Amino acid sequence: MSKIWIIIKREYLTRVKKKSFILTTLLLPLFFVAMMVVPALVMSSGDSGKVAVVDESGLFEGKLSDEGDVHYKFVQADIDTFKNSYLSQGYTGLLHIPKMDVTRPPSIIYYSRGQMGISLKSSMEKKVENIIEDKRMELAGIDKSKLEDIRVDIDIVNLAGKEGRKGSALQAYAIGWGSGFLIYIILLVFGMMVMRGVMEEKMNRIAEVVISSVKPFQLMMGKIIGIACVGLTQFLIWIVLIVGLYWITVLMIGPEMLSNNAMANSPSMAANSDATKQAVAEMVRSVGSVNWPFIIFCFVFYFLGGYLFYAALFAAVGSLVNEDPNDAQSLTFPITLPVIISIIIMMSAVAKPNSAVAVWGSIIPFSSPIVMMARIPYGVPGTVPYWQLGLSMVLLIAGFIGTTWVAAKIYRTGILLYGKKVTLKEVGKWLVRKS
Amino acid sequence: MNSLAPLGRTCNLTSSINVMNVLDLQHLKKHYATHKAVDDISFSIPKGSIFGLLGPNGAGKTTLLRMITGIFYPDAGEIFFDGKKFDPREDVQYIGYMPEERGLYKKMKVGEQVLYLAQLKGLGRKDAQNKIDYWFNKFDITTWANKKIEELSKGMQQKVQFISTVMHHPKLLILDEPFSGLDPINSKLIQDEIFEMAKNGTTIIFSTHRMEQVEEICDHIVLVNKGRKILDGPVKQIKQDFKQHLFYISLEQQPNPAQMATHHFSIVQNHDKAYTVKLNEFSQTNDILSHFIHHGIQVNYFREILPTINEVFISQVRMTDMAN
């Protein structure tokens, strides 16, 4: 027992102390936060100040309201001369609205020194559109207040399960997709890490030295557990850093900017930002309604279960690879294939959590770590009955004990076998052979 | 001839378990699908001896060593270690094994690497650190401790490997081709270390193809071929057993052919004023000398020619190969 602990410690420390580990662990959250913050900064910069409006149509006078740091000032001037001098008069931009027939509006031109930001463009477009729409309604004889009365906004509230937990399909979709995909990445990245570790030991010929001190099984499990700890450490640091950095940026540049930016990113969403705001509010409300501890428990269970299930197989493959690293590619294919099939099932399960493929995919241990996580956010026991969850978990535990047993048999022979290309038939014989 | 061997211990070949033996192998078998790697091999290794395990490539030496180190289980037969039935889980900490195909973690620092391997042998951290200091001082490599293995030359890596094999002070040390890749100076360093450890009671199994080293180092050998033991005994004894009764004699003057005719010996090879002669059956060594004395020919130099282990090895391997 203490020997396996020494192995775990080495596997863990050598990886955690690597420069590449430290870099990816620290840079990824920075990159993540930068992805959210930089566009917000870019978008808001340069779009503040006074905007001169030359309105030749006379429809807009006094109707363009200021927004944020943008102030509209109506100017009586000749556009051909003014467009050369607006900058020197302290304006940051010039909006030229030509004479128009409201049934066929012409294009409107905005002069500025630099590129116009997306958020300013969409907010200006919306203002001008609203005013033209009002004018058209007036011409068509439609009473604006009546139109407001006719408009409806229906919200379907979904009460799922016996307790009538208020759920959101969108949110279940997002959580299911996110956690399924994360487990998929974990299985492949850390599975490959296990395989490369085993290959290193075999090719460096250190395996025989170590195995004269410990059992092959201890060496294999020590590596698998050590790398699992590396994975958990990395995710823990990421979560802490992402949450921490997010709050630091929110405090520094203000939350409106981030959320404004999120909406302005898509002009169509900005156009009906009221609806978007409502959806966001709905999201925020229902975040509290998700059973987070349960979902996190399931995530950790399926992450570990799935990792152990596949890591042992990757270790076995690593032990079969000889001098030629290209062997690894063809040998890993039988293992990566079910993982890839799982992610395909997951994509459909997350939209139709009760389809036959989704149900069976979430029970069979080859795919359950990825597929089950797509279904769980839809509700237990509402969408996933207890028996399915229980069966899936028991099978996954049985599954990884099984793969570990099989892998240990392959590993102990493979790790000491040099120079020979191994056929599947031989591997089959190792499984049947005693000790 | 065998002056470098530290102990002239005579070795009796008992198949019973003897407390004087550190290792007793009884009827070991290990069969693979296609061939019998080890087929009914028994021998004993006395405490404190330097024991040569010899055999051509593919003879089953590595399989045998892997069974002794607990890496493989025998299909049949028993191993007794230090008088008790061999228990790999317990006993591996008393064994040091340097396989022929050896290696170290390339990216690990020398100090950490040796510490890790020592801890796997059951040494406590502090104890291991003390021993590392001792050995690094002894081999004059304290400055390497923070270097990565990949920064070292092959010979330097070999030294580190040797230290990590002997650090836990094993009762049984198994060295498979320990001198490959070492320059003469480092070879000597390791060789002296092997003698000193044997003197202090460590038993050493030494597997190699270099027969001149076997004569220099081992006091006892076992020869295996095709999974079977074909020879077992003390080096001196084996040389006696396989001697061809050849003698080398150097004379003051060239004798005429008549002076060489005798029923005591026949000439095998004629050198300049010297002969290699084969003693005939029923004759004694002294009969050769008295023959020349009788003819009044001055003898300058006279010695028995014993077979080298290399010659014994080749003839015995050829013989068993032919028998198959």
- Whether B71 sits inside 8 A of A206 (CB atoms) is no
Q: For residue B8, what pLDDT is reported? A: 37
The mean per-residue pLDDT over the stretch A79-89 comes to: 83
> Lowest mean pLDDT: which of A232-246, B13-27, B81-95?
B13-27
Chain B positions touching A10 (Cβ under 8 A) are 116
Please report whether residue A322 resides in a domain.
Answer: yes
Please indicate, yes or no, whether residues B190 and B266 belong to a single structural domain of this protein: no
Q: Do B103 and A3 lie within an 8 Å CB cutoff? A: no
Q: What mean pLDDT, rounded, does chain B reach?
A: 86
The total number of structural domains in chain A stands at 2
Q: What is the pLDDT of residues A190-205, one digit of tens each?
A: 999 999 999 989 888 8
Q: Which residue range is the domain that position B295 belongs to?
A: 244-305
Q: Are B69 and B93 in contact (CB under 8 A)?
A: no
Whether residue A304 sits in one domain with residue A178: yes
Residue range of the domain that includes A112: 49-150
Q: Looking only at Cα atoms, what is the longest distance across chain B?
A: 78
More confident residue, B49 or A277: B49
> What is the C-alpha to C-alpha distance for residues A183 and A177, in angstroms, rounded to an integer?
10
For residue A245, being part of any structural domain is answered with yes
Q: Rounded mean pLDDT of B191-220?
A: 89
Is pLDDT at A166 greater than 60 in this prediction? no
- In the predicted model, what is the mean pLDDT of residues A163-184? 76
Same domain, A409 and A348: yes
When pLDDT is averaged across residues B160-177 and rounded to a whole number, the result is 91
Distance between terminal CA atoms of chain B? Answer: 34
CB pairs under 8 A between A and B: 61
Q: Do residue A173 and residue A309 come from a single domain?
A: yes
B177 shares a domain with B278: no
B299–chain A nearest CA distance, Å: 56
Residues A29 and A59 in one domain: no
Q: Which of B218, B240, B262 is the last residue of a domain?
A: B240
If one counts the domains in chain B, the total is: 2
Chain centroid to CA B277: 30
pLDDT over 80 (residue B14): no
Which of A206, A418, A423, A435 to mutate against chain B (most B CBs within 10 Å)?
A206
Exposed / middle / buried, residue A32 (Cβ in 10 Å: 0-12, 13-18, 19+)? middle
Distance from CA of A209 to the nearest CA of B (A): 7
Record the tokens describing residue B316, joined without a space.
Answer: 């015995």
Same domain, A376 and A334: yes
Q: A209–B98: do the CB atoms touch at under 8 Å?
A: yes
The residue out of A101, A118, A150 marking a domain boundary is: A150
Where is the domain boundary, A150, A185, A207? A150
In percent, the amount of chain A with pLDDT more than 70 equals 84
Domain end, chosen from B193, B219, B240, is at B240
Range picked from A93-107, A301-315, B278-292 for highest mean pLDDT:
A301-315
Cα–Cα dist A399/A386, whole Å: 19
Least confident of A191-205, A275-289, A350-364, B106-120: A275-289
Same domain (yes/no): A276, A225? yes
Answer whether residue A397 shows pLDDT above 90. Answer: yes
Smallest Cβ distance to B92: which of A10, A213, A435?
A213
What pLDDT, on a 0 to 100 scale, did the predictor assign at position A331? 83
pLDDT value of position A271:
42
Question: Among all residues of chain A, which has the CA nearest to that of B102?
Answer: A205
Q: How far apart are the C-alpha atoms of A200 and A179, rounded to whole Å?
A: 31
Which segment of A59-68, A258-267, B314-323 scores lowest on mean pLDDT? A258-267
Is A43 contained in some domain? no
CA distance to partner chain B, nearest, from residue A43 (Å): 46
Measured CA to CA, the distance from residue B4 to residue B36 in angstroms comes to: 37
Give percent of chain A above pLDDT 90: 23
Quick check: is A63 in a domain?
yes
Q: Find chain A residues with C-beta within 8 A of B117's C-beta.
A: 209-210, 213
Check if B60 contacts A (Cβ < 8 Å).
Answer: no
pTM over 0.80? The answer is no
Same domain, B56 and B165: yes
Contact B108 A206 (CB under 8 A): no
Residue B16 lies in a domain: no
What whole-number percentage of chain B has pLDDT above 90? 29
List CB contacts (< 8 A) between A205 and chain B: 99, 101-103
Average pLDDT over residues A295-323: 90
Are residues B172 and B258 located together in one domain of the fold? no
Q: How far apart are CA B73 and CA B92, in angstroms?
A: 13
Residues A269 and A377 in one domain: yes
Do residues A26 and A53 both lie within one domain? no
Query: Based on the domain organization, do B86 and B198 belong to the same domain?
Result: yes
Confidence of residue A78 (pLDDT cuts 50, 70, 90): confident
Give the closest-approach CA distance of A214 to chain B in angstroms.
7
Q: Which residue has the tokens 């010929």?
A: A205
Q: For position A10, what pLDDT does the model report?
A: 93
CATH number of the domain that residue B86 is part of? 3.40.50.300
Question: Above 90 in pLDDT, residue A312?
Answer: yes
B36 with B177, same domain: the answer is: yes
Tell which phi-psi region holds residue A286, choosing left (phi > 0), alpha (psi between -120 and 50) or beta: alpha
What is the model's pLDDT at position A262? 46
Task: Write the CATH number for B263.
Answer: 3.30.70
Nearest CA in chain A to B69: A212
Q: Are residues B92 and B120 in the same domain?
A: yes
**CB spacing of B120 vs A429 below 8 angstroms:** no
d(CA B116, CA B312): 42
Pair (B226, B252) in one structural domain:
no
Task: Count CB atoms within 10 A of the CB of residue B257.
Answer: 7
B191 and B266 share one domain:
no
What CATH number does residue A121 fall under? 3.40.190.10
Mean pLDDT value across residues B179-207? 90
How many other CB atoms sit within 10 Å of the CB of residue A63? 14
Report the residue from B95, B106, B116 with minimal CB separation from A204.
Answer: B106
- Mean pLDDT is lowest, of A73-82, A154-163, A273-282, B273-282, for A273-282
Helix (H) or strand (E) holding A62: none
Query: Hey, are the CB atoms on A205 and B107 less than 8 Å from each other?
Result: no
| β pairing state of B21-31 and B36-46 | antiparallel
When pLDDT is averaged across residues A92-96 and rounded to a whole number, the result is 85
Is B117 in contact with A435 (Cβ distance < 8 A)? no
Residue A69 forms part of a structural domain: yes
For A4, nearest residue in chain B (alpha carbons): B120
Tens-place pLDDT, residues A30-71? 887 777 777 666 655 555 678 888 888 877 877 787 776 778
Condensed to tens digits (0 to 9), the pLDDT of residues B238-286 reads 888 888 889 999 988 888 877 778 888 888 888 888 889 998 888 888 8
Query: What integer is the mean pLDDT of B40-57?
Result: 90
